[in-house]
Structure 1
Amino acid sequence: MHPQVLDELGLSVAIESIAQDFSKRTGVDIQVFKPSLRKLLPDFINTTLFRVVQETLTNIQKHAEAKSVIISLSIQDHWLTLTIKDDGKGFELQNNNTSYEGIGLRNLAERVQYHKGEFDIKSSKKGTLITVKIPTASFVNHFNEATIRTKNDDR
């Protein structure tokens, strides 16, 4: 279930691509702020972040009646942070934002929590903000282990 576009283009370009497609299809203005992350993140993190953007844009199209969306991806203070903000009509959160009514949101929260991350939603009549935070410690060792395996394979 790994999107091929991630292998071909990398996460940053893949997010930009689905954002442009979304804007053309819906007429919703969308801005993307991101670093270039083609080789920086392992596939399992790229896939999680891509799926969060994909599912969130689907929800925005179906429910939000938004006119604009801002997607931001950054790495700072030992966290990889993805935010998606729309100016739509919002929705009511269940149980103080600790459980999610829709299966799509639940699946996203579980994907992020699998990486020891945090998944947060804030929503009001002025729009919705989804924040995903994954600690860099969840994936930094992936590169260290890959380097060790490569060195051992060369022997």
Structure 2
Amino acid sequence: MGLLAVLAAVVYALDLGSKFLVVGLLEHKEPVTVIPGVLLLNVIRNPGAAFSIGTGMTIVFTVIAAVVVIAIIRTARRLRSAPWAVTLGLLLGGALGNLTDRIFRAPAPLQGHVVDFIQVFPVTRFPVFNLADSAIVCGGILAVILSWRGYQIDGTRDTGEDVHG
């Protein structure tokens, strides 16, 4: 539980800090090239979900994010696995980062637009994202790998063998 809490707090702090910096220094300015053709810092406000899907449903995404946070916290009570602690810590920190934007940022409470600013391979039109999004994607990938390999949240491992036959 401690690992989950520390990792979630670190992800959350890095996400909020990075958004604070880019909004203060780069918003309403031309994108900043970090690595030509590979990485830009390009501040946008995203009213939708990933890839700007559902731009008119901000309140729905706010509720979904809040439910995810509650579900992770409730699930954490059964946590006895370090890999799952990392997974849930990434998911929780990322969800809290984007939820904070949705609750407190313009245009209105509970309808805020998420600050995105990392743009990789800009010529491919790859979506702009933030550190919270990265943590959520990494946590999701880890969850799939752990589940596929049979690792359970309670620390046990399901080997897939049928003990009855």
Q: Same fold (TM over 0.5)?
A: no
TM value normalised by structure 1: 0.34
Task: Give the TM-score of the pair, scaled to structure 2.
Answer: 0.33
Choose between structure 1 and 2 for higher RCO, CA contacts under 8 A separated by at least 6 residues. Answer: 2
* Greater helix share, structure number: 2
Higher strand share: 1
Structure with the greater alpha carbon radius of gyration: 2
